[in-house]
Every structure is written in structure tokens, then in C-alpha cells.
Amino acid sequence: MRITRALQLGIGALAIALAATGCGGGGSKGIAENTAAGKLTIGVKFDQPGLSLRDKDGSLSGFDIDVAKYIAGKLGVTEDKITFKEAPSAQRETLIQNGQVDFIVGTYSITDQRKQKVDFGGPYYIAGQSLLVRADNNEITGPDTIKGKKVCSVKGSTPAQNLEKNFPDVSLQTYDTYSLCVEALKAGSMDAMSTDDVILAGYAAQSPGQLKLAGKPFTTEKYGVGLKKGDTESRGKINDAIEAMFNDGAWKAALEKNFAGTGFQPPAPPQVERY
């Protein structure tokens, strides 16, 4: 009898402890509760032109921002009720797990490794790892020409992981953000910068005549909307919103608007993966 009671108390205490930490710590109550209250906190990048760039006045623009706003709208949250929080590559899983963001729309590749910690809606876009060099560099023409070269990328990103694992002869330098990497490239301390082609196209467009893409993409990066693992209901709603964005023309319009004049050709929308 007494053992049973002690066990009950123990389980009760555990349940209270779990409830208090929101089942894994942090502030957010979860997407369902926040959208019911008409608000959302969305993790995005702040320094990726064309995709997600924060202006001096604090306003954000880019394709990822448009996707984030569209999804929020479908979840019943108006733009003015979205709090955008910076989500650097290496911090994304932690921000989601701790409930510091409801979800992330930030050039976030769906990978099996990341799926152990978070879930993904989408994909809503498919990119590929490529290389950015200074305009006068004719030596680097693709991944088979970077042996011995100084290449920068970002901590916790799939391009950095790929370079580390599969290109041991490259002298890899990782920064916290891509803007630091592009500065190092412009300053001449790096020979190339490597990440997704669509990100690099944005930087190249920002510095006309100074930077150029080198070669073709050499990986497949499926951009997903990262959210808390196990929140199947919200994932379904996010997937519905992404499909609606493909179907009503908003997706194509957002790509064209944000990459106008860069020579970037918008691809066809990908297939949303329901799992």
C-alpha cells in the first residue's frame, strides 16, 4: 500500500515538473496555444539578402519572411502579431526545443540528424550547396577546384558539415553568420564562401561586379519549417499552408519579387512531405 502511494506521489511530482517546464523547458506554450491567442514567435535569419534581411529600421524582407508571414496568416495570426527572432544556423534546434520560437523559417535544411531533435513541415524550396568567389577569381570553378583553398561557411550548417566530412583538403573557416563569411571573402582573407546557391545569389546581387557564383550546386538542400518534435497537428497545418502558397501563386510571386533582377530563375515548387 505504502509503496503504491509513494509511487503515485512520485509520478505526480514528475507530471508537475514536466508541466512546469513545458515538457522540455522554455517559454513558448506551443503553436496551438499561441495561435489561439493570435500571436507567434518565428525564428528567421537577419542577414541573408533575398531570403531574410533586417533593415536598419528593423523591418524584415525576403522570401523566407514572405513564407513565414503566409503560414502565420493561414494559422490565423496577422503580421503585426508576429515576433521575429534571429535564429543563427547553429542555434536552431535549441531555439525550437526550448520553446524560444514557435517555428523557424530560415534556410533550414531537412536532415535525418536534425529530425532526431525537431520536426519539419515542407519542404517549401529546394536549394543546393554552391561556391561564391570574388569576380576576378577564375581558379575556383566548382567543388573539384577547392583543394588547399581557404573556404568559409557557417557553424552548424549542412554546407560546413559537408566540407568538413568530404573535403578534408580544404582549409575550412566557420563563422556564426554568413555576413561575417562574405566580409572575409570580400576582404581577401578567404578564397571562397560555401553555402546554398540561393543564399549566395543574394550576396552576389548585393555586390554587383564584386562577387560571383562558381560552378553548379553539388548537394540537395530541402528547406523545411522547423518546429517542435511531435507537434503533428501544427506540422499538418503548416504543410497545408505551404501547399496553399504553391497553389494560389503567392509562392512564385514571392520568389520573383525577392530575386528580381538577380538573374536567378525560380524553380518549380517541391512536393510537401507528409510523414
Contacts to ligand GLU by CB under 6 A: 89, 106-109, 154, 157-159, 195-196, 221
Q: Which is nearer to ligand GLU, 162 or 207 (CB)?
A: 162
We find the least distance from the C-beta atom of residue 16 to ligand GLU, in angstroms, to be 37
Query: Which residues are bridge partners to 126 per DSSP?
Result: 222
Exposure string of 217-243, with b = 16+ CB inside 10 Å and e = fewer, is bbbebbbbbbbbbebeebbebbbebbb
Task: Tell me if residue 168 falls in helix, strand or coil.
Answer: coil
Tell me if residue 1 falls in helix, strand or coil. Answer: coil
Shortest CB 106 distance to ligand GLU, Å:
6
Q: Name the residue whose CB lies closest to ligand GLU.
A: 157
Specify the residue for cell string 554587383: 208
**Rounded distance between C-alpha atoms, residue 1 and residue 158, angstroms:** 55
Instruction: Provide the minimum distance between the beta carbon of 214 and ligand GLU in the complex, in angstroms, as a whole number.
Output: 17
**Least distance to ligand GLU, CB of residue 107, Å:** 4
* Strand 192-196 with 129-134, pairing: antiparallel
Minimum distance, C-beta of residue 218 to ligand GLU, in the bound complex (Å): 13
Q: How far is the CB of 193 from ligand GLU (least distance, A)?
A: 12
Residue 32 or 90 having the CB closest to ligand GLU: 90
What stretches of 125-249 show up as alpha helix (H) in DSSP?
A: 158-166, 178-187, 197-206, 232-247
Is the CB of 35 or the CB of 195 nearer to ligand GLU?
195
Q: How far apart are the first and last CA of the chain?
A: 45
Smallest CA-to-CA distance from 8 within 16, 165, 131, 37 is with 16
Q: Where are the beta strands (DSSP E) in the chain?
A: 40-44, 47-48, 52-54, 60-61, 82-86, 103-104, 118-127, 129-134, 150-154, 171-175, 192-196, 211-214, 221-228
CB of 229 to ligand GLU, least distance (A): 17
Q: Nearest CA to 122 among 67, 77, 81, 73?
A: 67
